[in-house]
Amino acid sequence: MTIDELIDDFAYLEDWEDRYRYVIELGKDLEPLADEDHSDANKVKGCVSQVWLRTDVSKGDDGTPVLHFTGDSDAHIVRGLIAIVLTLYSDRPAREIVATGPDDTFSKIGLDEHLSPQRSNGLHAMVQRIQNDAASALSDAGLAPA
């Protein structure tokens, strides 16, 4: 699924209860995170619920880092939020990840208006972690964020 398809799906759902159910459904489709990846090293700081993100780095056709993320949470709604964040950032070049802010997408979906402050902070903590991992991948490859 692309981020544009996700935005369209949210636009189709008028009621926020339906949208919350959809977020939970998205979480059910997450790529599984291995038991050993539920570690302190993968835990996202700043989330009220437990959230783990694993980052795998490969090289794209042009030799620049491409990041793939898998994630999990102990909360159903947060698993869905992880799915949204991964739709926005996973399997993209590190430079794109660093340059892509989430606010426009979150606004189009309506997350900025309908999440509690704690969930919103956790969501932004996930994005910050992903963008930091992308910046580190660029640095490790001897590249500037551009």
Q: Pick the residue with more confidence: 82 or 115? A: 82
pLDDT for position 79: 97
Inform me whether the pLDDT recorded for 112 exceeds 80.
no
pTM of the predicted structure, to 2 decimals: 0.95
pLDDT for position 61: 92
pLDDT for position 44: 97
- For domain 3-140, the CATH class is alpha beta
Inform me whether the pLDDT recorded for 114 exceeds 90.
no
Average pLDDT over residues 64-79: 96
Give the number of residues written for the chain.
Answer: 146
**Amino acid in the structure at residue 117:** P
Residue in the block written with tokens 């590190």: 94
Inform me whether the pLDDT recorded for 139 exceeds 80.
yes
Average pLDDT over residues 110-119: 86
Average pLDDT over residues 63-90: 96
Residue 19 neighbours by CB distance under 10 Å: 20
CA 107 to chain centre: 15
Q: How many helices (H) and strands (E) does the chain have?
A: 7, 3
Inform me whether the pLDDT recorded for 115 exceeds 90.
no
Helix or strand run (H / E) with residue 21 = helix 16-28
pLDDT for position 14: 84
Q: Report yes or no: 103 and 4 within 8 Å, Cβ to Cβ.
A: no
Inform me whether the pLDDT recorded for 31 exceeds 80.
yes
Contacting residues for 45 by C-beta, under 8 A, at least 6 apart: 125, 129
Annotated catalytic sites, by residue? 47
Environment class of 125 (CB within 10 Å of its CB; exposed 0-12, middle 13-18, buried 19+): middle
pLDDT for position 6: 94
